[in-house]
């Protein structure tokens, strides 16, 4: 392992269990020397998140529901008190009513649209603003998106609209914070079997389809997402900001499946 993250401290938002993308990134950052703090959503998840956090030596493990702005404020106040400043932020949070991640986008309800956008899109802006205030020496921020924000994917629906907003937020935040030496990027991950991933209608079909038809003819692993996270959060990517970086075995570049893959 390297010392790429030695002396760097950061917050990981979005671990639910050891299948979470946020955990894949956290593990890699810790292995390369980072000191981590974690948030968890509600006491039910605390039981899973605390032991994971402890396994990478984290002491700050804080409750946070992004729908409750007071809990977001408290997280950054606690980090400010404990560390004084921070170097990086990982936001890997999304939610939408499962019943609307099925069928037509046109049937999205106003209530679920607002909630999906708040949790899966605007919460990143709110966290980024608070994290930037704790980054006097510069820093790096990372969020997670999916190709369903660029292109219409079956059943992804309102989550695709939220991801499009999230990706635009990455570009605007990169401009807002650029002069402070703070970089803002996103990883667009290929499908991974997680709690959130399983909530999308026909998830198994999408997973298998993308695996079969991506140029690499396979999916991606948590370790590969961790490696990309390490690159984007470390000084290795010092010249990169406002970028949507695909880690999807190349699926996003294809216009149509290879005929041999369709025949097999």
Name 36's bridge partners. 10
Binding to ligand NAD in span 154-193, by CB under 6 A: 189, 191-192
Ligand-binding annotation for 254, yes or no, is no
Q: Which pair of structure tokens corresponds to residue 153? A: 């994917």
CA distance 173 to 159: 20
Are 214 and 254 in contact by the 8 Å Cβ rule? The answer is yes
| Among 156, 172, 231, 251, the one annotated catalytic | 156
Count of beta carbons in the 10 Å neighbourhood of residue 146: 28
Residue listed under structure tokens 């704790």? 134
Ligand-binding annotation for 74, yes or no, is no
Site map (CB under 6 A) of ligand NAD, residues 11-50, x = contact: ---xxx---xxx------------------x---x-----
CA distance 38 to 68: 17
To the nearest whole angstrom, how small is the minimum distance from the Cβ of residue 254 to ligand NAD? 17
To the nearest whole angstrom, how small is the minimum distance from the Cβ of residue 102 to ligand NAD? 16
The correct pick among 168, 195, 236, 262 for binding ligand NAD (CB under 6 A) is: 195
Ligand-binding annotation for 196, yes or no, is yes
CA distance 263 to 238: 44
To the nearest whole angstrom, how small is the minimum distance from the Cβ of residue 85 to ligand NAD? 23
Ligand-binding annotation for 253, yes or no, is no
**251 given a catalytic annotation:** no
CA distance 234 to 140: 8
Contacts of 209 (CB under 8 A, 6+ apart): none
Q: Which residues bind ligand NAD (CB under 6 A)?
A: 14-16, 20-22, 41, 45, 64-67, 92-95, 119, 144-146, 189, 191-192, 194-197
Active site residues: 146, 156
Bind-site residues for NAD(+) = 14, 20-21, 41, 65-66, 93, 163, 192-196
């Amino acid at each position: 392992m390297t010392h790429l993250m030695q002396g760097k401290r950061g917050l990981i938002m979005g671990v639910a269990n050891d299948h979470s993308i946020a955990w894949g990134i956290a593990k890699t950052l810790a292995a390369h020397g980072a000191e981590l703090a974690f948030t968890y959503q509600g006491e039910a998840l605390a039981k899973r998140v605390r032991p994971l956090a402890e396994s990478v030596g984290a002491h700050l493990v804080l409750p946070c529901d992004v729908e409750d702005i007071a809990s977001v404020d408290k997280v950054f106040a606690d980090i400010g008190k404990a560390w004084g400043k921070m170097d990086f932020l990982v936001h890997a949070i999304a939610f939408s009513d499962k019943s609307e991640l099925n069928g037509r986008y046109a049937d999205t309800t106003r209530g679920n649209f607002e909630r999906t956008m708040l949790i899966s899109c605007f919460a990143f802006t709110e966290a980024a603003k608070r994290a930037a205030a704790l980054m006097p020496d510069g820093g790096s921020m990372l969020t997670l998106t999916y190709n369903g924000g660029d292109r219409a994917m079956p059943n992804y629906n309102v989550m695709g609209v939220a991801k499009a907003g999230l990706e635009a937020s990455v570009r605007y935040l990169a401009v807002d914070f650029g002069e402070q030496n703070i970089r803002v990027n996103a990883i667009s991950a290929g499908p991974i079997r997680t709690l959130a991933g399983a909530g999308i209608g026909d998830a198994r079909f999408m997973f298998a389809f993308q695996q079969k038809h991506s140029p690499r003819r396979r999916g991606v692993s948590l370790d590969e997402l961790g490696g990309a996270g390490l690159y984007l959060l470390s000084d290795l990517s010092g010249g990169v900001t406002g970028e949507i970086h695909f880690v999807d075995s190349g699926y996003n570049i294809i216009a149509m499946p290879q005929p041999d893959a369709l025949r097999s």
